Amino acid sequence: MIEIKKVTKAFGSARAVDEVSFTAPEGAVTGFLGPNGAGKTTTLRMLLGLSSPDQGEALINGVKYADLDSPRRAVGAVLDSIGYHPGRSGIDHLRIVAKAAGLERKRVGEVLEIVELTSAAERNVGGYSQGMRQRLALATALLGDPPVLVLDEPSNGLDPAGMAWLRDLIAGWAKQGRTVLFSSHILNEVEMVADHLVVINHGKVVRETSMNDLAGPDGKIISGRLEEMFFELTTPKVQVR
Amino acid sequence: MRNLIAAEYLKLRTTKTTWALLAATVATTGLAVVGAILVASNSKLNLQSTHGIREVLHVTASGGIFMLVLGVIISAGEYRQRTATETFLTTPRRWKVIISKLIVSTTTGVVFGAISAGTAIAVASHLYSAKGYTFPLGSSLAWSILGGAVLAAALFGALGAATGSLIRNQVSAIVGWMAWLFVIENIVLGFSATAGRWLPSALSRALVRDPNAHLLPQSTAAIVLVIYGVVIMLTAVLTESRRDA
Ligand SMILES: Nc1ncnc2c1ncn2[C@@H]1O[C@H](COP(=O)(O)OP(=O)(O)OP(=O)(O)O)[C@@H](O)[C@H]1O
Ligand SMILES: [Mg+2]
């Protein structure tokens, strides 16, 4: 379970994240939505110990990221800010993380299989496409077989087949009882895979709800309902004269 | 920490830059020894005299600059390639990363320094015998200079890694060091030779007992360089705890 408790972060005088609180439960996929600059990445970076909140705290199964015994075994993360040495092969990148985290070496081959990158593993990352890099980031996140996954726009750069594959993967993780928190701008994708929903705008949570609330009487999500709600929550009201 | 250090070595082995800088170190050392022997014999210096040996062997440290560069790359390179995020996700306690990098850079400096010393011995023995001398491989003077060269490379590696952690910007850190070693130190030296002796470039020359200047004793030089490294490292650790990755 992920708990964000009244987390605030300002850059200069502007509050990028303003007393944000929400929970991402176990065994469920939580979609984290909001317009560009809403504060999603900033929130996730604080959750992952990459930057420190001015106030509040972010907990993973009750513990701050920096206090986790073995972070790679507890949390898998995919972030935009992750880069690779262009002259290093994908498999060497994974070996380095596995070594530093004290994980079994054979896990490297397993995660390469999961993200379908085995055939390109020996090639230098400098020659990877954006989608391949994204797969490598996912493979790295999975190295420790973590019960919690934090993904910032994980479908970035994936082709349509890749996106469908990722959706199945995410849904599968939740079924196994893992906690999945992921941000996305692709509402379709969120509609298909999320169980729980958090929307933020200008650094504040404007809605936390279950996806069931977007379902019709038959229990199916009404197509387009999410988009409608998103715009309602995030578009400034036009003044009528 | 042991896993972390092993991972840092793996990072080093899997980048071509490491091998390129090692090759540059060997080439620079070899050429410097050849040059020193040519100059010494042209000026009719006895190559087997104390002065002759110091003149020839002190250049063993001329590749030290490459170890300094590698040290900076070991730390600041993570920001340049944006690999720092994954590193800190694995090890959120950043001081552990800084210390591991310092250890890896210092021990790599020992290896670079030992290879430089080997190169100097090989080149010098060859040229000595070509000129009808025997290279004094058994002399304690030769070994104190070669040992000083190993120490200089190790400490330059430490200084590089510590400044790379502090400054984070690889290009600035390297350019800054070059400016310091080749320009600023000479200016200070021009004003006060006594003050100049306490600065990094002069200290590394003291470690290899450069006969061309009035320098500090080897042991003092080593201690002062260690202090510089520790101070920069502690500053980096303190700064790092207060900034975002
Ligand atoms: N390091 C930083 N320094 C200054 N401002 C920052 C920094 N990081 C983020 N911000 C600001 O904080 C706000 C929130 O940014 P953030 O990246 O969290 O948004 P986001 O919701 O992830 O947006 P996007 O959908 O575009 O990824 C923005 O106004 C951004 O300019
Ligand atoms: Mg973002």
Report chain B's mean pLDDT, rounded to a whole number. Answer: 92
Does ligand 1 lie within 6 Å of residue A39's CB atom? yes
The mean pLDDT value for B116-121 works out to 94
- Nearest Cα neighbor of B58 from B162, B202, B181 is B202
- How far is Cα A10 from Cα A5, in angstroms, rounded to an integer? 16
> Is B157 within 8 Å of B105 (Cβ atoms)?
yes
Here the tokens at position A113 are 């299989």
Chain B hits for A71, CB-CB cut-off 8 Å, are 89-92
Please, where are the H alpha helices in chain B? 2-13, 16-42, 50-57, 64-80, 84-90, 94-130, 140-167, 170-179, 185-191, 193-196, 200-207, 218-240
CA B224 to chain centre: 14
Instruction: Provide the residue ranges of all domains of chain B, joining segments of one domain with +.
Output: 2-240
Does ligand 1 lie within 6 Å of residue A16's CB atom? yes
Give percent above pLDDT 90 in chain A: 78
Here the tokens at position B235 are 């500053």
pLDDT for A241 equals 60
- How far is Cα B71 from Cα B12, in angstroms, rounded to an integer? 10
Dump pLDDT digits (tens) for A137-156: 999 999 999 999 999 999 98
- The DSSP symbol for A221 reads B
Nearest to B86 among A66, A82, A87 (CB): A82
Which of A166-180, B19-33, B190-204, B216-230 has the weakest average pLDDT?
A: B190-204
Q: How many CB atoms lie within 10 A of CB B27?
A: 13
Here the tokens at position A99 are 């070594």
The 3 state secondary structure assigned to B155-198 is: HHHHHHHHHHHHHCCHHHHHHHHHHHHHHHHHHHHHHCHHHHCC
pLDDT for A233 equals 87
Nearest CA to ligand 1 atom 7: A11
pLDDT for B104 equals 97
**Closest A-chain CA to B16:** A87
Does ligand 1 lie within 6 Å of residue A9's CB atom? no
- Residue in the structure block whose two tokens are 């958090």: A198
- How far is Cα A137 from Cα B54, in angstroms, rounded to an integer? 53
Dump pLDDT digits (tens) for A50-64: 999 999 999 999 999
- Residue in the structure block whose two tokens are 């110091």: B54
The rounded Å distance from CA A185 to ligand 1 centre is: 15
> Is A166 within 8 Å of A197 (Cβ atoms)?
no
Helix or strand or coil: residue A10? Answer: strand
- B120 versus B134: which is more confidently predicted? B120
Classify each residue of B209-233 as buried b or exposed e, where b means 16 or more C-beta atoms within 10 Å of its C-beta. Answer: bbeeeebbebeebbebbeebbeebb
- B212 versus B124: which is more confidently predicted? B124
Q: Distances in Å between the alpha carbon of B197 and those of A206, B58, B174, B189, B217?
A: 64, 16, 22, 8, 10
Nearest to A85 among B6, B81, B88 (CB): B81
Does ligand 1 lie within 6 Å of residue A44's CB atom? no
